[in-house]
Amino acid sequence: MAFVLVNDRWRCTFTDETQGVPLPRSFSFSLEEKVTELARRGGGLKCLADVQALEHGLRSGRGNVTLFLTNEQFERLAK
């Protein structure tokens, strides 16, 4: 998941790493806590280093988090 702050909104986009193509679904949030929650639900915050990398990205206005999605979660993003 890539995230970037644009016009006071966090835009989150996704890429299928196995095929290297962007997924059609994206999200836009006004609160950075929603980005954190999305990363948590996607299994992207497995250790302290993951949390620190996310926090650094949020402070910087852009970043990436590797998600570990269930098949169901992936299918919902791929629609």
Q: What is the pLDDT of residues 31-76, one digit of tens each?
A: 999 999 999 999 999 999 999 999 999 999 999 999 999 999 999 9
Q: From CA 50, how far away is CA 69, in angstroms rounded?
A: 16
Alpha helices by DSSP H, 42-78? 48-60, 71-78
Which whole number is the average pLDDT over 1-30? Answer: 96
pTM for the model = 0.92
- Hey, is 17 helix, strand or coil? coil
What pLDDT score was predicted for residue 6? 98
What pLDDT score was predicted for residue 53? 98
